[in-house]
C-alpha cells in the first residue's frame, strides 16, 4: 500500500470535473437535466449539487470503457495505492466485478472452490459462466456458533481432492467481519498455480487499521474486489476490481464493458477517485480513530452485560475479527424487536437484524458520539426488553438459526449427526439447472429435490439455496419458519415461498 507518496495527493477525475464546471458551457448534450435547469423538480428536492457534477463522456472527461485521460490516471493511482498492477473503477458495485471475474476466467464445467459465506453475485457469476461450485466448510466460534471463515487446513484438503479446480474464491472479511488466514491460503493456491480471488468488499479499510489485518494484496491474491461505498466512504455503489497481473486485464475489460452501464454516473466515479485520495492522505487517522472507538464501545457493552460476539474468540484460531463489526445476540427471536425498538425510541439504525441477533457497523460517521453514551443507550434498551445477560442460552448448534445459509452440506466444518456431511450439495451446475425443465412444488414437498432457482437472504445477500443444489430437509424447515414470519426473499419466483421451482427429469430430482 502506498501511504501517500508519489502523486497520491492528486485526484485527476475530480479535477477534470471542476475544470468543466468552470467553463460555463451551454449543455447541448445528455444528461437532459443540464446540470439542474432541465429538471426543476429535482432542484427543489435538493439534488442540485449532485446534478452539477453529473456529466456524460465529453471532453475533457474520459471514457470508463476506454480510459485514456482522467479516469486512466485515477485508476492508475488507485492501483498504486492498493498494491495492484491494474485497477478498474466499478459503477455497478463489487457485484459486477465478481460477475466479470467468473465470466472472464472460468468456462463450463470448471470447478470453483468457495464457501457458503459467498455473496449471491459469486453464484450468479458461476451460473452465467457454467462453472461448477464446490463448497468449502467454514469453522465456527465454539461459544456462540458464529461462522468464522475457511481455514488453510480445509483449503489444503480441498486442493488435494479437487486437483482440477480452476479458481479459489475466499470471502474475507465475512459479512460479520471475520478475516481468513489469507497469507497461508494464498501460499497454498500459488503452490498449485490455482487462481486465487478474494471478495474483500467489506475490507478495503483493513490495511489502514492500527493493527493491519489480513488483506488480499498482502496475501498475493490474483484479483480482489473492494466495495468502496461499504468500507471507504465512496458513493453507492462505487467499487474497485484489482488485478495482480495485468495480463488478466483484457478479458475482464470486455466483460466489464458488457455488464456495466454505457452511461456511467460521474458522481460515483469522482467519489472513487476522492475516496482513494482520502484513504492515502488521511485513511490511517480516520480508520484508526474508528477502530479505537469500536474497541472501547465493545468493552463497555460487555461490561454492561450486553451479549456481544467477542473479538478475542476468533483470534485464538487464526481468524481475526474487525472490531467495527459488532454482532449482538438476542434470545427468543427478539432481534427484529430490538432493531425496531432502537429505531423508534433511540433513533438508531442498524446494518442488519436477524431472528437472533443484530449487526452494527461502527464506521467513521459515528465517532462524533462518545462510545460511553451509546453504550448506555444499548444497555438501557436491552434492559427494557429483558435481553441482558442471555449468555446462558449459548449453544453452538444455534448457528443454524443464527446463520441459516449454513444449513446445507458444505456449510460448517465438523458438523455431525444429520447424515449430510459427505453429500455433494450440487447435483447439477447452476447454469444447467437454470436452463433445465422445472416445475413448481409446494415448499413442504421440496426436500430431496433439486432447486431450479436461487433463494437469497438479504441482507446479507447470501444464498440459502442455489440452482442445482439438492434441497435439504433442514433448509425446508428453515424456509417454512421464515414463511410463517412473512419474510420476503430475493431470487424466488414466488417471493412468499408457497411454492418452489425444482428441476424435473429423474426420480431422484
Determine the Cα angle at 212 with ends 211 and 216, to 5°. 160
Class of domain 398-503: alpha beta
Dihedral pair phi/psi, residue 264, rounded to 5°: -65, 140
CATH 3.40.640.10 domain residues, the chain: 12-282
First to last CA, the chain: 50
In tens, the pLDDT along 328-386 reads 988 777 888 999 999 999 999 999 888 888 999 999 999 999 999 999 999 999 999 88
In tens, the pLDDT along 225-250 reads 999 999 999 999 999 999 999 998 99
- The confidence band for 422, taking pLDDT boundaries of 50, 70 and 90, is very low
- The confidence band for 291, taking pLDDT boundaries of 50, 70 and 90, is very high
Q: Closest Cα to residue 303, out of 216, 379, 219, 367?
A: 379
CATH 3.90.1150.10 domain residues, the chain: 284-395
CB 181, CB 318: distance < 8 Å: yes
Q: What is the pLDDT of residue 25?
A: 82
CB 420, CB 409: distance < 8 Å: yes
- How many helices (H) and strands (E) the chain has is answered by 17, 16
Q: Does domain 12-282 have CATH number 3.10.450.240?
A: no
Q: Does domain 284-395 have CATH number 2.30.40.10?
A: no
- The confidence band for 414, taking pLDDT boundaries of 50, 70 and 90, is low
Determine the Cα angle at 136 with ends 327 and 173, to 5°. 35
Q: What is the pLDDT of residue 392?
A: 44
Q: pTM (2 decimals)?
A: 0.92
Q: Cα–Cα distance between 446 and 335 in angstroms, integer?
A: 28
Amino acid at each position: 500500500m502506498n501511504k501517500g507518496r508519489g502523486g497520491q495527493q492528486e485526484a485527476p477525475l475530480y479535477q477534470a470535473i471542476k475544470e468543466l464546471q468552470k467553463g460555463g458551457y451551454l449543455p447541448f448534450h445528455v444528461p437532459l437535466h443540464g446540470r439542474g435547469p432541465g429538471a426543476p423538480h429535482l432542484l427543489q428536492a435538493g439534488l442540485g449539487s449532485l446534478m452539477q457534477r453529473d456529466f456524460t463522456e465529453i471532453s475533457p472527461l474520459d471514457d470508463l470503457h476506454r480510459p485514456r485521460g482522467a479516469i486512466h490516471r485515477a485508476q492508475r493511482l488507485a492501483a498504486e495505492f492498493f498494491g495492484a498492477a491494474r485497477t478498474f473503477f466499478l459503477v455497478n458495485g463489487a457485484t459486477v466485478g465478481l460477475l466479470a471475474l467468473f465470466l472472464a476466467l472460468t468456462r463450463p464445467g470448471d470447478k470453483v472452490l468457495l464457501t457458503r459465506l459467498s455473496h449471491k453475485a459469486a453464484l450468479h457469476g458461476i451460473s452465467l459462466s457454467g462453472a461448477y461450485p464446490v463448497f468449502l466448510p467454514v469453522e465456527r466460534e465454539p461459544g456462540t456458533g458464529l461462522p468464522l471463515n475457511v481455514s488453510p487446513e480445509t483449503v489444503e484438503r480441498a486442493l488435494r481432492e479437487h486437483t482440477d479446480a480452476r479458481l479459489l474464491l475466499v470471502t474475507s472479511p465475512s459479512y460479520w467481519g471475520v478475516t481468513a488466514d489469507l497469507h497461508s491460503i494464498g501460499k497454498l493456491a500459488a503452490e498449485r498455480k490455482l487462481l486465487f480471488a478474494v471478495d474483500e468488499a467489506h475490507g478495503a479499510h483493513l490495511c489502514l487499521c492500527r493493527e493491519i489485518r489480513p488483506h488480499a494484496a498482502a496475501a498475493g491474491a490474483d484479483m480482489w474486489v473492494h466495495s468502496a461505498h461499504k468500507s471507504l466512504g465512496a458513493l453507492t455503489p462505487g467499487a474497485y476490481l484489482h488485478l495482480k497481473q495485468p495480463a488478466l486485464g483484457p478479458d475482464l475489460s470486455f466483460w466489464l464493458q458488457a455488464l456495466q452501464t454505457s452511461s456511467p454516473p460521474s458522481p460515483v466515479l469522482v467519489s472513487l477517485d476522492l475516496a482513494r485520495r482520502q484513504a492515502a492522505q488521511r485513511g490511517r487517522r480516520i480508520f484508526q480513530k474508528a477502530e479505537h472507538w469500536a474497541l472501547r464501545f465493545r468493552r463497555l457493552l460487555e461490561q454492561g452485560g450486553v451479549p456481544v460476539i467477542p473479538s478475542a474468540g476468533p483470534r485464538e484460531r487464526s481468524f481475526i475479527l474487525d472490531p467495527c463489526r459488532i454482532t449482538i445476540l438476542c434470545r427468543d427471536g427478539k432481534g427484529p424487536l430490538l432493531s425496531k425498538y432502537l429505531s423508534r425510541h433511540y433513533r438508531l439504525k442498524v446494518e442488519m437484524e436477524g431472528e437472533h441477533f443484530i449487526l452494527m457497523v461502527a464506521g467513521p460517521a459515528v465517532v462524533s458520539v462518545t462510545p460511553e453514551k451509546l453504550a448506555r443507550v444499548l444497555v438501557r434498551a436491552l434492559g427494557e426488553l429483558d435481553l441482558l445477560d442471555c449468555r446462558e442460552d449459548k449453544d453452538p448448534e444455534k448457528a443454524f438459526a443464527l446463520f441459516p445459509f449454513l444449513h446445507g452440506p458444505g456449510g460448517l466444518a465438523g458438523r455431525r449427526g444429520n447424515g449430510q456431511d459427505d453429500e455433494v450439495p450440487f447435483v447439477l451446475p447452476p447454469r444447467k439447472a437454470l436452463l433445465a425443465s422445472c416445475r413448481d412444488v409446494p415448499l413442504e414437498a421440496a426436500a430431496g429435490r433439486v432447486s431450479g432457482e436461487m433463494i437469497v437472504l438479504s441482507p446479507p445477500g447470501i444464498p440459502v439455496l442455489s440452482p442445482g443444489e439438492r434441497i435439504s430437509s433442514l433448509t425446508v424447515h428453515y424456509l417454512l419458519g421464515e414463511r410463517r414470519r412473512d419474510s420476503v426473499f430475493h431470487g424466488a419466483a414466488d417471493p412468499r415461498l408457497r411454492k418452489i421451482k425444482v428441476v424435473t427429469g429423474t426420480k431422484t430430482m
